[in-house]
Structure 1
Amino acid sequence: MANKDNSEEISDLIHKLNHHLTLVYSYIDISIQYLNNETTPKEDIIRFLSEAQNTYDDVKNIIGKISDQIGKFIRANED
C-alpha cells in the first residue's frame, strides 16, 4: 500500500512539475516577445520575468519533493 501511495504522490508531483515548467516557459516567451515590441512598458517585462523566477523557485521545490519520494520508494523496496 505504501508503494502505491508513494507512486501516486510521485505521479502527482510530476504532473505539477510539468505544469510549472510550462508556466516558466510561457513567462519567458512572453517576456521575449515584449522585448521585441518597443512600445511595451518595461515594467511588464520585469513582471513576467519575476513570475518566471518565482515559478522556477517552485519548480526547484517540486524537484526536491520528487527526489524525497523516490528516496522513500527505494528505501521501502530495499528489504
Structure 2
Amino acid sequence: MTEPKQIRKLADVEIKTPVTVARMKLDDAEIAHLADLGMRLGSVVRVLQVSRDEPLLVAVGDGRIAVNYAVAQKIYVY
C-alpha cells in the first residue's frame, strides 16, 4: 500500500525531489509571471538549492528559475 501524497510548501521540499505544484496562494500577477517561466499548477519541479530567507533555485522542465523564499512559502506541492 502506498502512502498518500502529503501537501507541503515548496520551501520545505527536500533537494532534488520531484514534486507537483498543487496550489499557489499568490496574486494573479505573480501566478502569471511564474506561468511565463514554466511553473503552473500540475507542473513537476525540483528544488536544486535552498537557504532560509534566500531565493530557491528550482528546476522547471529543462530550465532553472529563482523563486523568492517568501513566494516559495505560498506554493504548495505534493
The TM-score normalised by the length of structure 1 is 0.22
More helix by share: 1
Larger Rg: 1
**Higher RCO, Cα 8 Å, sep 6+:** 1
More strand by share: 2
